[in-house]
Structure 1
Amino acid sequence: MIKLYGAALSPYYNKVKIALLEKGVNFQEILTAPSQQEELLAKSPMGKIPFVEVGGHAMAESSVILEWLEDAYPTASLLPPTPNGRAHARQLSAILDLYVLMPALPLYRHWLFGSPLEANAVDTARQQVARGLAAAGQMLDYGPWACGEDFSHADISAACILPALAQMSQALLGEDITAAFPERDSYLQQLSARKSVNRCWSEREAALSAFRARQQQ
């Protein structure tokens, strides 16, 4: 059985979880925080989550784990059938990860954990996220999923990133920094009908509520 280490508050963790659910693979979730302790670094060299353990072999980085799942469980593929289609889905997923989520992480960590923000962090995040959303918009090919007929890595990234950043920015900034994503509301409604996505969204909300309750104790 695959062991999935991490926490439901991490968009990267939820990417792997959705992929596992879509593949119908048995897995065990093990609540784990990022750490620089030796024991964790032996499994995730940068001390990050998520990481997985399969038969005693560990691997980290959500995009790498998703690619491994494609190789290990080729049925219920999460990439389009053609080379160009697969490249399209991978590129859109990377844009969402690197140019939408990544620049917003300082704000996300501040909202969750109270991590300090550098001067101009909000304006910088707004500008960079807007640029990332514009780049993602250029690549969208709804049909009905982000890259055409096939639910793919691109949809998984969108499902994990857009709602998390919308919730954070509305609470922290009083605005939704993901609002410019083309046809976002109808697309999110479509994603919500996907069992894997709906489960992850529900469990993320439960984890967030429990986390906020502990903070108030």
Structure 2
Amino acid sequence: MIKLHGIPLSPYYNKVKIALLEKGVNFQEVVTTPSQEDELLEKSPMGKIPYVEINGHPLAESTVILEWLEDAYPTASLLPPTPNGRALARELTAMLELYVMQPASPLIRHMLKGSKPDAAKCEDIRQALARGIGAVAKLAQFRPWLAGEDFSFADLSAAGVLPVVARLSQSFLGEDMTQRLEGCPDYLRRLGERPSVARVWTERDVSLAALMARRD
């Protein structure tokens, strides 16, 4: 039995959860928040989520978990069949997480607190997001999936990152920055029609609504 630790609001948690669903792996979700407590650090050395426990063996970092799943459950592969295709899927994953999600991450704290960053900070974030989304646009295939014909790591990452960045940028920057990625609306529609993604998005939205209700 695999135990998946984290919360449905995390795009990285949702990336792993979609992978588990796609591969048909039996797993249990355990609500766990990031922490620097010793108990968590023993299992996730940076105190981050998600992490998994595989028959009691802990493993952290979402992309590392995906690679483990790919090795352990090679059927229903989440990487394209060719070396170049696999490299592109991994490259897009890195671009989305390093240059799209990370620049937007400071806005999460403001969303949770109900505060607003100053204008200069917002402009810095806008410029960083524009550059990151531009980089993704140069690589994205949309044939029909982000890295080509095969649903892959890149789509798992996009399913976690793009809706979060869309919400944050619309709320704080006055513009849904993901719309700068040509083809994004149709792509997100296709993602949402996939049962694994639809389930994860629904459960994420329920968790977000509960969190915002508590904040208010």
What corresponds to 2:180 in structure 1? 180
Q: Is the 8 A contact 1:106 1:121 kept in 2?
A: no
State the alpha-carbon separation in 2 of the partners of residues 115 and 42 from structure 1.
Answer: 33
Task: Give aligned-pair identity as a percent.
Answer: 61
Structure-to-structure mapping, 1:63-102, within 5 angstroms = 63-102=63-102
What corresponds to 1:214 in structure 2? 214
Shift of 1:127: 0.8
More deviation in 6-15 or 101-110? 101-110
State the alpha-carbon separation in 2 of the partners of residues 64 and 46 from structure 1.
Answer: 14
Shift of 1:119: 7.6
State the alpha-carbon separation in 2 of the partners of residues 161 and 18 from structure 1.
Answer: 13
Q: Would you identify which runs of 4 or more consecutive aligned residues in structure 1 move more than 2 Å? A: 112-121, 171-174
What corresponds to 1:56 in structure 2? 56
More deviation in 166-175 or 98-107? 166-175
Count of residue correspondences: 216
**RMSD value, Cα:** 1.5
Structure 2 counterpart of 1:131, one-letter code: R
What corresponds to 1:14 in structure 2? 14
Structure 2 counterpart of 1:150, one-letter code: D
State the alpha-carbon separation in 1 of the partners of residues 119 and 171 from structure 2.
Answer: 19
Q: Is the 8 A contact 1:108 1:165 kept in 2?
A: no
Shift of 1:142: 1.9
- Tell me the TM-score normalized by structure 1: 0.95
- Tell me the TM-score normalized by structure 2: 0.96
Segments of 5+ residues of structure 2 without an aligned counterpart are: none
Give a deviation string over 1:104-155, Cα, whole Å, max 9, x none.
Answer: 1001222124588578321111111111111111111121111111000111
